[in-house]
Amino acid sequence: MIGVFDSGVGGLSVWKELFRELPGEKFLYVSDSGHCPYGPKPKEEVIGRATAITEYLISRGADIVVVACNTATAAAISHLRGSYPIPFVGMEPAVKPAAINTRTGAIGVLATKGTFKGELYLRTLHRFASNARVIEQVGEGLVELVEEGNTDTPQAREIVGKYVRPMVESGVDHIVLGCTHYPFLEKVIRAFAGEGVEIVNPAPAIARRVSQVLEQLKGQGKVSAMNMGSNTFVTTGGNLELLKRMVGDIAPDDFETFIYNTIDL
Protein backbone atom coordinates (compact mmCIF):
# COMPACT_ATOMS: atom_id res chain seq x y z
CA MET A 1 0.00 0.00 0.00
CA ILE A 2 1.11 3.52 -0.77
CA GLY A 3 0.46 5.99 2.04
CA VAL A 4 0.10 9.67 1.10
CA PHE A 5 -0.33 12.62 3.44
CA ASP A 6 -0.56 16.38 3.39
CA SER A 7 -1.53 19.16 5.77
CA GLY A 8 -4.90 19.10 4.01
CA VAL A 9 -6.52 18.45 0.66
CA GLY A 10 -3.66 19.99 -1.34
CA GLY A 11 -1.80 16.69 -1.60
CA LEU A 12 -4.64 15.41 -3.76
CA SER A 13 -2.79 17.17 -6.60
CA VAL A 14 -0.04 14.59 -6.02
CA TRP A 15 -2.44 11.68 -5.52
CA LYS A 16 -3.99 12.55 -8.90
CA GLU A 17 -0.64 11.98 -10.62
CA LEU A 18 0.09 8.88 -8.53
CA PHE A 19 -3.26 7.38 -9.48
CA ARG A 20 -2.60 8.17 -13.14
CA GLU A 21 0.87 6.58 -12.97
CA LEU A 22 -0.13 3.59 -10.80
CA PRO A 23 -3.88 2.97 -11.30
CA GLY A 24 -3.80 -0.60 -9.99
CA GLU A 25 -2.18 0.18 -6.64
CA LYS A 26 -3.70 0.58 -3.20
CA PHE A 27 -3.66 4.11 -1.75
CA LEU A 28 -4.43 5.55 1.67
CA TYR A 29 -4.53 9.35 1.75
CA VAL A 30 -4.50 11.34 4.99
CA SER A 31 -5.68 14.95 4.90
CA ASP A 32 -4.56 16.59 8.15
CA SER A 33 -7.06 19.41 7.71
CA GLY A 34 -7.66 19.53 11.45
CA HIS A 35 -4.12 20.93 11.82
CA CYS A 36 -3.83 22.89 8.58
CA PRO A 37 -1.93 24.96 7.53
CA TYR A 38 1.56 23.67 8.31
CA GLY A 39 3.41 26.64 6.77
CA PRO A 40 3.40 28.97 9.80
CA LYS A 41 3.92 26.19 12.37
CA PRO A 42 7.25 25.60 14.19
CA LYS A 43 9.39 22.84 12.71
CA GLU A 44 8.99 20.65 15.81
CA GLU A 45 5.20 20.76 15.53
CA VAL A 46 5.28 19.76 11.86
CA ILE A 47 7.62 16.86 12.71
CA GLY A 48 5.15 15.79 15.39
CA ARG A 49 2.24 15.75 12.94
CA ALA A 50 4.27 13.96 10.28
CA THR A 51 5.35 11.33 12.81
CA ALA A 52 1.82 10.69 14.07
CA ILE A 53 0.46 10.35 10.54
CA THR A 54 3.34 8.10 9.45
CA GLU A 55 2.72 5.76 12.36
CA TYR A 56 -0.97 5.63 11.43
CA LEU A 57 -0.12 4.83 7.80
CA ILE A 58 2.34 2.11 8.80
CA SER A 59 -0.21 0.63 11.19
CA ARG A 60 -2.58 0.38 8.22
CA GLY A 61 0.03 -1.43 6.15
CA ALA A 62 1.82 1.28 4.16
CA ASP A 63 4.92 0.03 2.33
CA ILE A 64 5.85 3.50 1.01
CA VAL A 65 4.94 6.92 2.39
CA VAL A 66 4.65 9.92 0.07
CA VAL A 67 5.01 13.19 1.96
CA ALA A 68 2.77 15.17 -0.41
CA CYS A 69 3.46 18.44 1.35
CA ASN A 70 6.39 20.77 0.69
CA THR A 71 6.43 22.16 4.23
CA ALA A 72 6.33 18.69 5.84
CA THR A 73 9.05 17.48 3.47
CA ALA A 74 11.28 20.41 4.39
CA ALA A 75 10.72 19.99 8.13
CA ALA A 76 10.33 16.28 8.67
CA ILE A 77 11.48 13.95 5.92
CA SER A 78 15.01 13.52 7.29
CA HIS A 79 13.52 12.63 10.69
CA LEU A 80 11.09 10.16 9.11
CA ARG A 81 13.77 8.45 7.04
CA GLY A 82 15.92 8.08 10.13
CA SER A 83 13.07 6.69 12.23
CA TYR A 84 11.26 4.15 10.03
CA PRO A 85 12.55 1.37 7.75
CA ILE A 86 10.24 2.01 4.79
CA PRO A 87 10.95 4.35 1.84
CA PHE A 88 9.75 7.97 1.92
CA VAL A 89 9.29 10.13 -1.15
CA GLY A 90 8.98 13.86 -0.54
CA MET A 91 8.32 16.96 -2.59
CA GLU A 92 11.37 18.17 -4.47
CA PRO A 93 11.49 21.91 -5.13
CA ALA A 94 10.99 22.24 -8.91
CA VAL A 95 13.51 25.07 -9.15
CA LYS A 96 15.90 23.04 -11.31
CA PRO A 97 13.73 22.70 -14.45
CA ALA A 98 12.63 26.33 -14.15
CA ALA A 99 16.21 27.59 -13.85
CA ILE A 100 17.43 25.40 -16.72
CA ASN A 101 14.64 26.37 -19.12
CA THR A 102 14.20 30.06 -18.34
CA ARG A 103 14.59 32.36 -21.32
CA THR A 104 14.52 35.63 -19.39
CA GLY A 105 16.86 34.53 -16.62
CA ALA A 106 14.16 35.17 -14.01
CA ILE A 107 11.93 32.61 -12.29
CA GLY A 108 9.27 32.94 -9.61
CA VAL A 109 8.73 30.60 -6.69
CA LEU A 110 5.40 30.62 -4.86
CA ALA A 111 5.64 28.69 -1.58
CA THR A 112 5.02 28.72 2.16
CA LYS A 113 7.35 30.16 4.77
CA GLY A 114 8.23 26.66 5.92
CA THR A 115 9.34 25.60 2.45
CA PHE A 116 11.50 28.67 1.90
CA LYS A 117 13.27 27.99 5.21
CA GLY A 118 13.93 24.33 4.38
CA GLU A 119 17.47 23.08 3.75
CA LEU A 120 16.37 21.15 0.67
CA TYR A 121 15.01 24.27 -1.02
CA LEU A 122 18.11 26.30 -0.12
CA ARG A 123 20.45 23.58 -1.41
CA THR A 124 18.47 23.26 -4.64
CA LEU A 125 18.52 27.02 -5.10
CA HIS A 126 22.28 27.18 -4.59
CA ARG A 127 23.00 24.21 -6.84
CA PHE A 128 20.74 24.88 -9.79
CA ALA A 129 19.60 28.51 -9.70
CA SER A 130 22.77 30.43 -8.91
CA ASN A 131 22.71 32.00 -12.38
CA ALA A 132 19.01 32.87 -12.32
CA ARG A 133 17.19 35.74 -10.68
CA VAL A 134 14.72 34.12 -8.29
CA ILE A 135 11.62 36.02 -7.17
CA GLU A 136 10.30 34.40 -3.99
CA GLN A 137 6.75 34.96 -2.81
CA VAL A 138 5.11 33.53 0.31
CA GLY A 139 1.58 32.49 -0.68
CA GLU A 140 -0.05 33.60 2.55
CA GLY A 141 -3.74 32.70 2.57
CA LEU A 142 -3.65 30.43 -0.49
CA VAL A 143 -3.76 27.15 1.45
CA GLU A 144 -6.81 28.39 3.34
CA LEU A 145 -8.57 29.22 0.06
CA VAL A 146 -8.13 25.66 -1.15
CA GLU A 147 -9.13 24.16 2.20
CA GLU A 148 -12.35 26.19 2.06
CA GLY A 149 -13.05 25.19 -1.53
CA ASN A 150 -12.70 28.81 -2.73
CA THR A 151 -10.39 28.17 -5.67
CA ASP A 152 -12.14 30.26 -8.33
CA THR A 153 -13.76 33.13 -6.49
CA PRO A 154 -13.29 36.90 -6.38
CA GLN A 155 -11.35 36.44 -3.14
CA ALA A 156 -9.02 33.92 -4.79
CA ARG A 157 -8.46 36.20 -7.77
CA GLU A 158 -7.69 39.14 -5.50
CA ILE A 159 -5.08 37.25 -3.45
CA VAL A 160 -3.50 35.40 -6.37
CA GLY A 161 -3.28 38.60 -8.41
CA LYS A 162 -1.48 40.34 -5.55
CA TYR A 163 1.22 37.64 -5.64
CA VAL A 164 1.51 36.83 -9.34
CA ARG A 165 1.35 40.28 -10.94
CA PRO A 166 4.66 41.50 -9.38
CA MET A 167 6.40 38.30 -10.51
CA VAL A 168 5.27 38.79 -14.09
CA GLU A 169 6.18 42.48 -13.99
CA SER A 170 9.66 41.42 -12.82
CA GLY A 171 10.10 39.40 -16.01
CA VAL A 172 9.72 35.80 -14.80
CA ASP A 173 8.88 33.23 -17.45
CA HIS A 174 8.44 30.30 -15.04
CA ILE A 175 6.45 30.16 -11.81
CA VAL A 176 7.24 27.20 -9.56
CA LEU A 177 4.35 25.94 -7.45
CA GLY A 178 6.08 25.25 -4.14
CA CYS A 179 3.03 23.95 -2.28
CA THR A 180 0.80 21.03 -3.24
CA HIS A 181 -2.32 23.14 -2.62
CA TYR A 182 -1.38 25.62 -5.33
CA PRO A 183 -2.16 23.47 -8.42
CA PHE A 184 -5.82 23.80 -7.43
CA LEU A 185 -5.40 27.53 -8.06
CA GLU A 186 -3.58 27.06 -11.36
CA LYS A 187 -6.50 28.36 -13.45
CA VAL A 188 -6.44 31.66 -11.55
CA ILE A 189 -2.63 31.80 -11.53
CA ARG A 190 -2.63 31.25 -15.29
CA ALA A 191 -5.09 34.11 -15.79
CA PHE A 192 -2.62 36.55 -14.23
CA ALA A 193 0.58 34.94 -15.51
CA GLY A 194 -0.45 34.77 -19.16
CA GLU A 195 0.38 32.13 -21.75
CA GLY A 196 4.03 33.14 -21.96
CA VAL A 197 4.76 31.97 -18.41
CA GLU A 198 5.31 28.28 -17.66
CA ILE A 199 3.60 27.02 -14.50
CA VAL A 200 5.82 24.32 -12.96
CA ASN A 201 4.03 21.60 -10.97
CA PRO A 202 6.40 18.94 -9.55
CA ALA A 203 3.67 16.32 -8.94
CA PRO A 204 4.16 14.29 -12.17
CA ALA A 205 7.88 13.89 -11.41
CA ILE A 206 7.06 12.75 -7.87
CA ALA A 207 4.66 10.12 -9.25
CA ARG A 208 7.36 8.78 -11.55
CA ARG A 209 9.77 8.56 -8.63
CA VAL A 210 7.24 6.63 -6.52
CA SER A 211 6.76 4.22 -9.44
CA GLN A 212 10.52 3.61 -9.53
CA VAL A 213 10.69 2.97 -5.78
CA LEU A 214 7.72 0.61 -5.97
CA GLU A 215 9.35 -1.39 -8.77
CA GLN A 216 12.51 -1.69 -6.67
CA LEU A 217 10.50 -3.02 -3.73
CA LYS A 218 8.72 -5.51 -5.96
CA GLY A 219 12.03 -6.61 -7.45
CA GLN A 220 13.37 -7.22 -3.94
CA GLY A 221 10.26 -9.24 -3.04
CA LYS A 222 9.31 -6.76 -0.30
CA VAL A 223 5.85 -6.11 -1.72
CA SER A 224 3.52 -8.15 -3.87
CA ALA A 225 3.85 -7.72 -7.62
CA MET A 226 0.07 -8.13 -7.89
CA ASN A 227 -2.34 -5.74 -6.20
CA MET A 228 -6.04 -5.01 -6.11
CA GLY A 229 -6.32 -1.27 -6.56
CA SER A 230 -8.27 0.67 -3.94
CA ASN A 231 -8.39 4.23 -2.65
CA THR A 232 -9.21 5.37 0.87
CA PHE A 233 -9.27 9.01 1.93
CA VAL A 234 -9.36 10.09 5.57
CA THR A 235 -9.34 13.51 7.18
CA THR A 236 -8.58 14.81 10.66
CA GLY A 237 -10.85 17.78 9.96
CA GLY A 238 -14.60 17.96 9.86
CA ASN A 239 -15.15 18.85 6.21
CA LEU A 240 -15.49 15.38 4.72
CA GLU A 241 -17.79 16.69 1.97
CA LEU A 242 -15.06 18.99 0.64
CA LEU A 243 -12.64 16.06 0.52
CA LYS A 244 -15.20 14.00 -1.41
CA ARG A 245 -15.93 16.84 -3.83
CA MET A 246 -12.27 17.55 -4.55
CA VAL A 247 -11.52 13.87 -5.14
CA GLY A 248 -14.59 13.68 -7.34
CA ASP A 249 -13.40 16.62 -9.43
CA ILE A 250 -10.10 14.93 -10.31
CA ALA A 251 -10.92 11.21 -10.14
CA PRO A 252 -12.27 8.91 -12.87
CA ASP A 253 -15.99 8.39 -13.32
CA ASP A 254 -16.17 5.52 -10.80
CA PHE A 255 -14.84 7.68 -7.95
CA GLU A 256 -17.97 6.96 -5.92
CA THR A 257 -16.49 3.53 -5.13
CA PHE A 258 -13.76 5.22 -3.11
CA ILE A 259 -13.83 5.09 0.70
CA TYR A 260 -13.93 8.18 2.93
CA ASN A 261 -13.58 8.50 6.69
CA THR A 262 -12.91 11.01 9.44
CA ILE A 263 -10.25 10.05 11.99
CA ASP A 264 -9.03 11.43 15.30
CA LEU A 265 -5.26 11.61 15.09
Catalytic residue among 69, 98, 132, 214: 69
Catalytic residue among 30, 179, 210, 243: 179
Q: Rounded distance, CA 159 to CA 229, Å?
A: 39
212 CB-near residues (< 8 Å, 6+ apart): none
260 CB-near residues (< 8 Å, 6+ apart): 232, 233, 234, 235, 240, 243, 244, 247
Domain ranges for the chain, please list them: 2-91+203-262, 95-200
Residue range 141-150, pLDDT digits in tens? 999 999 999 9
Task: State the pLDDT confidence band at 229, using cuts at 50, 70 and 90.
Answer: confident
Q: How far from each other are the two terminal CA atoms of the chain, in whole angstroms?
A: 20
CATH code of the domain made up of 2-91+203-262: 3.40.50.1860
Biggest CA-to-CA distance, the chain: 53
What is the pTM for the complete model shown?
Answer: 0.93
Identify the helix (H) or strand (E) that includes residue 260.
strand 259-262
Catalytic status, residue 36: no
Instruction: Pick 95-200's CATH classification: 3.40.50.170, 3.30.70.20, 3.40.50.1860, 3.30.230.70.
Output: 3.40.50.1860
- Give Cα 52 distance to the centre of its chain: 18
Question: Do the two domains 2-91+203-262 and 95-200 of this chain adopt the same fold?
Answer: yes
Q: Rounded distance, CA 213 to CA 7, Å?
A: 23
Residue range 163-196, pLDDT digits in tens? 999 999 999 999 999 999 999 999 999 999 998 9
Residue range 64-104, pLDDT digits in tens? 999 999 999 999 999 999 999 999 999 987 999 999 999 99
